[in-house]
Structure 1
């Protein structure tokens, strides 16, 4: 049986809560410094400091979460950043700020920054569409819309690769979200968000939104059904009048933050997609506006959001407003090219040379060169052979096939990767697939993942007299690795291991 590193991701709701509750959120260095100066400036009001903190959603969440954790005699959680600052006081806020990790914006994981940009876009939509109509509730609308996705921020701070995996599988390939979330997380994402929102005592409107999505979607489904008939507002009103419970639910101010986030999240994919149109129609039903009027306002607010928050390395849906209406940012990925059939005769020839007694090789380079050719003949299109030093403190690329030339000079520090450390402890084999990629991807070096952008990957460590001396990494250029290819890889690895033993005896 193949031994492989144990999964590190939690798989239960309680374990996820324990992990994410402790997760620190990185703060952009510029925001960290400017807020720190403001906290030490006696001329600054709480409103000014709160406004300054808005530039960093992560900092706003940290302050609100800390205030609600230590609410003391307060029976209600703080609903806005200004009230949270008042409860904590400037000294405790400054102490909290010192505990937050600060780093350059480009060093914060891109998926986390991308989701925070979506939250900022949602806030712009909420302020533009609803805050003017519900002026007395503008703070609830503003902070509720900004922090609605905050539970997912901590998830992406801990495991940023989950965003790409979810985006590709759900948005690009159309896999059911529930199935993907179960495979990646072990729990439904919305249930995790609700549990975190309740634990952190986030604004009540946020909790109401997640409870609706988790426990009672009937009202939402009925409202979406009525919203489809956007061209006949009189008929829509008649249907609402006939269902007083639905009418009362629809007019709740708390729904504004759910609508704003639905608009921002769906626009992240494409303005003309069915999900985006559903949220636009539902917003029209809520505001008594036609679809054309909703779209005009939503597009204007998206442009305003882009002017304030867009960044060169992040995607903002306002960019797509310059494209043809049917264009999408994410396109279905073409199926990977069928891997070439193994070259059986060449494979046997290379393996025979590896198994020759005494060893047929004069140096390590000759041995690893033959090994890489054997793996290629076995049907593996991208191959990397890494040699370990005596102290297992460094891995150095020795051979590569099918990879950029820079791969030949790759050096890795195993101490930064739990997977590599485990592979170096004893001979083991790890097969990555879409079902377990999220569990292991964060534990692999980024430079290695960049060479193998694939959900199908094989890693195996090889030993000489019980001590691991080499790690093989190989795939079929993104294609799924079937059992036949897996057996060929395993047999080739066994031949290489025997060649290492023979070569070691020859050197002595």
Structure 2
């Protein structure tokens, strides 16, 4: 008969303090070899340990436990290893349970991936501006969710239940946490952070979220007016205490984890936008610049940390706008996607195929077919892909969909069309609307106008090895393009261009 879950703060602390976190066996072996190699520096060993956040937590907790309540807690892993010594650190690691990565509970691996994403956001957004404090920023952001790691190592089913009820069904998080745990989750995290003597910024962050939300709420209200920075500054000048609090460097780890956690749900959710605007207020940057930077850091995190079977928010940056909020809960929980996102699922699969390294295609016809299908899956009903010859004297149809059969074997001579010549000369995009259709219609080949009887068209040329190789022509069966349609088309075109580059590098 299973042991009932704790229902009080003291009972949870007692159970979780004894809980050991499993470590991926391959990472454990690499760290142990490095510890036994006298040529390796503490910095190198600490960097290697980041591959398993559980190892970093174990070493930091042990170093701070030995220091005692009167000593300053170690703020970085390098400092913690120095306090313990290499031999003691190695002995500690040998007592840590190891498992093949795929056997570690998915919920634990998923939240540790969120922590690694948060650490990348903190490093990219803040560490360069506060270079003297980069270690505190890095390790504080990585370890901020460490209490949750231990909770999910003990009871991994809690994560799926929380995602299902909060992210998918929309129940209030506080009510769900009370029912599942018997105590508020943030209070439990604060108690564990204090008990383990985690870095001071981690403790301060949980105190802010549990005991002193007044300043945070005031800052969030000011951050909403991101389009008027002068007015924001006037509001901050009127409240010196709020201004001083906002600029504290310790807030960076709360911001980074807020960004990473909210992106796990959806980049465009109100919760995510609140953290993006607050980050903009902290950095004194407009929202669009903040979003550009956090998207770049998410992509960098995915390159370093993403693994099969876990959800990384950077994947959603490739999807059409408007589909993101439908996808994340299904991906995160492992539940089958709802029927209304079948096309998005197909679009994502095709883009993944296009981005494969090395190229998954044996010939251009295969690549063109996948590219055309991806364009259709993102909502474009009529699609034509034209391949340019080396001299740019001819364009031939590589793929078409939704068009008359006359598109098969279509050949165009660009010298007769000023629009085609311009698009072949350098990469570019031309969008036709009723407002400019009369201006450009006379410059288009008659064969194209017959295939696309529409005043709403988009042309785009794609480069391979420094020259335009492919021309895309798409429309929505004569309907206007929405902003979401254009974003989806742009992202798909980028995937096709990368597929062309990979195909050109393939080994025959």
> Does residue 182 of structure 1 match 2:178?
yes
Match of 2:196 in 1: 200
> Does residue 71 of structure 1 match 2:54?
no
Q: Compute the displacement of 1:42 (Å).
A: 1.1
CA distance in 2, matches of 1:331, 1:315: 10
Aligned residue for 1:268, secondary structure, equals helix
Match of 1:92 in 2: 88
Q: TM-score, normalised by structure 2?
A: 0.64
> Does residue 233 of structure 1 match 2:236?
no
CA distance in 2, matches of 1:180, 1:322: 32
Match of 1:371 in 2: none
Aligned pairs for 1:89-488 (under 5 A) are: 89-327=85-323, 328=325, 329-330=327-328
CA distance in 1, matches of 2:321, 2:229: 25
CA distance in 2, matches of 1:97, 1:155: 20
> Does residue 16 of structure 1 match 2:1?
no
* Post-superposition CA distance 1:284-325 (Å, at most 9, x none): 000000000000000000000000000011000000001122
CA distance in 2, matches of 1:259, 1:306: 19
Match of 2:472 in 1: none
Poorly superposed stretches of 4+, deviation over 4 Å: 331-334
State whether residues 114 and 315 of structure 1, in contact with CA within 8 Å, keep that contact through their aligned partners in structure 2.
Answer: yes
Aligned alpha-carbon RMSD (Å)? 1.6
Equivalent of 1:58 in 54, 61, 66: 54
CA distance in 2, matches of 1:142, 1:62: 17
* Post-superposition CA distance 1:410-463 (Å, at most 9, x none): xxxxxxxxxxxxxxxxxxxxxxxxxxxxxxxxxxxxxxxxxxxxxxxxxxxxxx
CA distance in 1, matches of 2:157, 2:69: 40
* Post-superposition CA distance 1:62-85 (Å, at most 9, x none): 000011011159620111000100
CA distance in 2, matches of 1:42, 1:12: 46
Match of 2:444 in 1: none
Distance 1:164 1:46, change over 3 A: same
Q: TM-score, normalised by structure 1?
A: 0.64
CA distance in 2, matches of 1:6, 1:120: 33
- The structure, 1 or 2, with the larger RCO (C-alpha pairs under 8 Å, 6+ apart) is 1
CA distance in 2, matches of 1:163, 1:9: 14
How many residues matched? 331
State whether residues 172 and 330 of structure 1, in contact with CA within 8 Å, keep that contact through their aligned partners in structure 2.
Answer: no
> Does residue 45 of structure 1 match 2:41?
yes
Q: Compute the displacement of 1:330 (Å).
A: 3.7
* Post-superposition CA distance 1:257-285 (Å, at most 9, x none): 00000000000011000000000000000
Aligned residue for 1:156, secondary structure, equals helix
State whether residues 10 and 16 of structure 1, in contact with CA within 8 Å, keep that contact through their aligned partners in structure 2.
Answer: yes
* Post-superposition CA distance 1:164-185 (Å, at most 9, x none): 0001101111111111011000
CA distance in 1, matches of 2:329, 2:77: 39
Q: Return 5+ residue gaps in structure 2 as ranges.
A: 339-508
* Post-superposition CA distance 1:26-74 (Å, at most 9, x none): 0100111011111111111111111111111000000000110111596
State whether residues 67 and 87 of structure 1, in contact with CA within 8 Å, keep that contact through their aligned partners in structure 2.
Answer: yes
Aligned residue for 1:143, secondary structure, equals helix
CA distance in 1, matches of 2:23, 2:70: 28
Distance 1:164 1:331, change over 3 A: closer
Q: Compute the displacement of 1:6 (Å).
A: 7.3
State whether residues 226 and 239 of structure 1, in contact with CA within 8 Å, keep that contact through their aligned partners in structure 2.
Answer: yes
CA distance in 2, matches of 1:331, 1:76: 41
CA distance in 1, matches of 2:151, 2:100: 20
Match of 1:488 in 2: none
